[in-house]
């Protein structure tokens, strides 16, 4: 909670490990027992959300979870816009892309299809930017669209990108 508050007050790039330690009321040694950098805190805090977003690429049925997560982003839209749409966007996109890439690699190992012409890294990066862009656009709007509809859009576009990549791999 202290970390999120600092991000909203100062912006992620201006928050230091010292700020986090002071706000959380812990010592530096305690911080470094668990994390190496502030990016590690961010990665850890986004992990459950990004895991579900990445599962959409692996064709998992996560519609209810995804809808709940999208609703959570709306309830915390100031933070979502700060992290997903601001100067931290490239960092957060890489974090999500890494999780998506792991899902896609695992799925392709099971399929035993030929190596793709388009590298998995590019597909994962494209998916991450698409998903985050959708979330930012929605969180910047009026909220007329329900979280379930946004979740369906993210799931549908993710599946379409992966399907196009799978068809390309099958050629």
Co-location of 53 and 120 in the same domain:
yes
Domain of 22? 1-36
Whichever domain contains 88, its CATH number is 1.10.357
Task: Looking at the structure, tell me whether residues 137 and 61 fall in a common domain.
Answer: yes
Same domain, 31 and 46: no
> Are 11 and 47 part of one and the same domain?
no
Q: Under 8 Å CB-to-CB from 38, ≥6 apart: which residues?
A: 3, 12, 15, 16, 17, 20
> What pLDDT tens digit does each residue of the chain (171 aa) get?
789 999 999 999 999 999 999 998 999 999 999 999 999 999 999 999 999 999 998 877 788 999 999 999 999 999 999 999 888 999 999 999 999 999 999 888 776 666 667 899 999 999 999 999 999 999 999 779 999 999 999 999 999 999 888 776 555
Instruction: Provide the domain count of the chain.
Output: 2
Task: Yes or no: say if 40 and 111 are a contact pair by the CB < 8 Å rule.
Answer: no
State pTM to two decimals. 0.90
């Amino acid at each position: 909670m202290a970390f999120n508050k600092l991000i909203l007050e100062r912006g992620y790039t201006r928050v230091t490990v010292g700020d986090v330690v002071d706000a959380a009321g812990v010592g530096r040694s305690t911080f470094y027992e668990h994390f190496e950098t502030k990016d590690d805190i961010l990665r850890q805090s986004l992990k459950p959300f990004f895991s579900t977003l990445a599962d959409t690429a692996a064709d998992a049925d996560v519609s209810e979870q995804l809808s709940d997560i999208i609703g959570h982003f709306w309830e915390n839209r100031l933070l979502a816009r700060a992290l997903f749409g601001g100067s931290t966007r490239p960092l957060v996109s890489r974090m999500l892309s890494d999780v998506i890439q792991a899902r896609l690699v695992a799925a392709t190992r099971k399929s035993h299809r030929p190596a793709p012409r388009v590298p998995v890294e590019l597909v994962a990066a494209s998916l991450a930017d698409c998903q985050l862009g959708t979330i930012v656009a929605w969180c910047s709007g009026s909220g007329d669209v329900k979280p379930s509809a946004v979740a369906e859009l993210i799931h549908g576009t993710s599946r379409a990108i992966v399907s196009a990549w799978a068809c390309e791999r099958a050629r």
